[in-house]
Amino acid sequence: MAGALVRRRSPAALLLHPAAKPVLFLLALLPFSWLFYGAATDQLGANPAEYLIRATGDWTLRFLCITLAVTPLRVITGAPALARFRRMLGLFVYFYVVLHLLSYSWFDMGFEVADIAKDIAKRPFILVGFSGFLLLTPLALTSFNRAVKAMGARRWQALHKLVYLIAGLALLHFFWMRAGKRNFAEVAVYAAIIGVLLGWRLLQFFKKKRAASAAPGPGALSRR
């Protein structure tokens, strides 16, 4: 009886609980809910437009870091159930980047398409951010099971490796945005997090490559 209770309350059991995904969904909506409430009640400071643009950008980068952390955490903790949340987290990256782009297009540019196009071409940090958004779009559109089946697992995985390039573009966008005020403290934090996560993936890649090269081929086995 006691053993059964322990198993029910274990972290793995909680991750597999039917309520886990709805709870994560609601938690991921909390930043949006606060921004919506703050805008509706005029609690976003003296410049609410700038606050919304920056806050949605910050949450995009945070959810990108969380999404990239899923696989390392899954491997290190031995909790395969974590993988079931990766798709939802990735879609929330796209949700917040769309809000970021809409905030910029509306509050900064008044939805003037010609002015937006000129601004993208003129300011490198906006060009880099917009490039990241364009690259992220096919990842969001192909995040469903039907897309995996239609593309094939190998091509799907190759496409979704673009997330590493997107992370670099997001970081560069953030760096250039903060360069005007020479405020790089947060940039350094995100750079360290992304660096560690991508470094872990590179380490895993080289480990697998070394193991594959060290493994005897079929010819060697037959000679034995």
Where do the domains of the chain lie? 39-211
**Per-residue pLDDT for 102 more than 80?**
yes
For residue 172, what pLDDT is reported?
A: 96
**Per-residue pLDDT for 64 more than 50?**
yes
Burial of 107 by CB count in 10 Å (0-12 exposed, 13-18 middle, 19+ buried)?
A: middle
What's the average model confidence in pLDDT over 77-104?
96
**Per-residue pLDDT for 181 more than 90?**
no
Q: How many helices (H) and strands (E) does the chain have?
A: 12, 0
- Average the pLDDT over each of 17-21, 167-171, 209-213 and give the range with the smallest value: 209-213
- Average the pLDDT over each of 3-7, 10-14, 23-27, 37-41 and give the range with the smallest value: 3-7
**Per-residue pLDDT for 2 more than 50?**
no
What's the average model confidence in pLDDT over 186-204?
94
Average pLDDT value for the chain: 90
**Per-residue pLDDT for 149 more than 80?**
yes
pTM of structure: 0.89
d(CA 185, CA 82): 30
What's the average model confidence in pLDDT over 202-224?
73
**Per-residue pLDDT for 24 more than 90?**
yes
d(CA 108, CA 102): 10
For residue 183, what pLDDT is reported?
A: 81
For residue 179, what pLDDT is reported?
A: 85
What's the average model confidence in pLDDT over 74-96?
95
**Tokens 């309520």 — which residue?**
19
For residue 220, what pLDDT is reported?
A: 55
Report the C-alpha dihedral over residues 202, 203, 204, 205, rounded to 10 degrees: 50
- When pLDDT is cut at 50, 70 and 90, the band that residue 6 belongs to is very low
